[in-house]
């Protein structure tokens, strides 16, 4: 498999390779979880942790909602439709690994279908998350 380590690329993100690696991690993790409803609650946090471990020094955002607003700098992305719902329904997640950016989440599910890991703050409201490329210990929302 090609090297998908952004640090080894001397500053040049090969986002296609990194995005493919993110998709691989997403699919493997979903396949390890059993119950659809239980998995929806665990998947975002476990995925964010795995991606954070795979790409230290970068921010990670995992979320479900096609109406979210976001802007991520120097990011790589993958989308995965998680199968297993009633009557064959799926549940889609976006996973991003990036340097800095902004996410505005919509919906009323709280943080069940969302998680962010890295250098972040949520000024004034939990629905807005700002990510920096800071140097302090990463936080998880």
- Reported as a single tens digit per residue, the pLDDT across 75-88 is 999 988 877 777 77
- Token pair listed for 115: 């998680």
The whole-number pLDDT of residue 51 equals 95
User: What are the distances in angstroms from CA 51 to CA 67, 70, 77, 118, 125?
Assistant: 23, 19, 11, 11, 25
In-domain check, residue 6: no
Q: Residue 42 belongs to what domain range? A: 13-140
- A 10 A CB-CB count for 25 gives 19
In-domain check, residue 52: yes
The whole-number pLDDT of residue 3 equals 41
The whole-number pLDDT of residue 87 equals 76
User: What are the distances in angstroms from CA 31 to CA 23, 36, 81, 97, 110?
Assistant: 12, 10, 12, 21, 24
In-domain check, residue 60: yes
Dihedral sign from CA coordinates of 108, 61, 44, 65: positive
In-domain check, residue 119: yes
Count of the separate structural domains present in the chain: 1
In-domain check, residue 3: no
Instruction: Collect contacts of 80-86 with beta carbons under 8 A, ≥24 apart.
Output: 80/23, 80/26, 80/27, 80/30, 82/30, 82/36, 82/39, 82/40, 82/43, 84/36, 84/39, 85/36, 86/36
Q: Report the alpha-carbon distance of residue 1 to residue 11 in Å, rounded.
A: 20
Q: 40-61: per-residue pLDDT in tens?
A: 778 888 999 999 999 999 999 9
- A 10 A CB-CB count for 122 gives 14
The whole-number pLDDT of residue 140 equals 57
Query: Which parts of the chain register pLDDT below 70?
Result: 1-15, 34, 37-38, 107-111, 124-126, 135-141
């Amino acid at each position: 498999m090609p090297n998908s380590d952004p640090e080894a690329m001397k500053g040049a993100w090969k986002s296609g390779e990194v995005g493919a690696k993110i998709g691989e991690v997403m699919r493997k993790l979903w396949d390890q979880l059993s119950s659809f409803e239980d998995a929806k609650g665990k998947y975002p946090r476990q995925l964010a942790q795995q991606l954070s471990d795979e790409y230290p020094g970068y921010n990670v955002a995992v979320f479900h909602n096609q109406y979210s607003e976001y802007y991520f700098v120097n990011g790589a992305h993958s989308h995965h439709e998680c199968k297993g719902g009633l009557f064959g329904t799926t549940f889609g997640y976006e996973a991003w690994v990036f340097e800095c950016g902004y996410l505005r989440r919509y919906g009323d599910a709280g943080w069940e279908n969302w998680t962010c890991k890295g250098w972040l703050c949520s000024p004034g409201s939990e629905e807005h998350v700002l990510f920096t490329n800071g140097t302090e210990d990463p936080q998880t929302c």
